[in-house]
Amino acid sequence: MFNNHQSKQDRFAFLKAIASGQSAPVVESSFPEIWKHEVDKPLIGIIIGFSSFEHERFGLQETVIVELENGQHVSAILNNYLSNGMQYQRAEPGDYVLIRLLGKEKGTNGSVYNKFELVVQKVQ
């Protein structure tokens, strides 16, 4: 009729495969993927929220959590320009956002920096 012994073995097969290194565990992370600033690959989405974390080398890093068109959540690190721009444009959860890396520029003091475009579209 029903083979209990066989069904119990099958229930543990996946865990045994992970334990033996034959399979990787499927982990649902509560942390969104880090979005990488790249020229010609803008971040476009809806602001879900803001966060921060302590980086061992660079100290406190502010981030914006964005939901992409496909539903994926990503976290973008905000440099001073982007952080100040978010404050100036009064960005808040639910607003649409565009962050685009335009490339490298040379400042008046000769230092090179990343130049960004930031657009926050308020929800009506």
Q: What is the CATH number of the domain that holds 58?
A: 2.40.50
Specify the pLDDT at position 2: 41
Residue 55 placed within a domain? yes
Range(s) of the domain holding residue 47: 29-121
**In the prediction, which pLDDT does 46 show?**
96
Give the per-residue pLDDT at 6.
47
In a domain, 21, yes or no: no
Mean pLDDT of 29-35: 75
The per-residue pLDDT for range 50-100, each reduced to its tens digit, is: 998 888 888 888 999 999 999 999 999 999 999 999 999 999 999 999 999
Q: What is the largest CA-CA distance in the chain?
A: 82
Per the domain annotation, does 110 fall within a domain?
Answer: yes
The pair of three-digit structure tokens given for residue 104, joined into one six-digit string: 């490298």
- Do residues 63 and 53 make contact, with C-beta atoms less than 8 angstroms apart? yes
Domain count, the chain: 1
Tell me whether residue 5 is in a domain.
no
Nearest-angstrom CA–CA distance, 63 and 45: 14
| CB-neighbour burial class of residue 95 (10 A; exposed 0-12, middle 13-18, buried 19+) | middle
- pTM of the model as a whole: 0.71
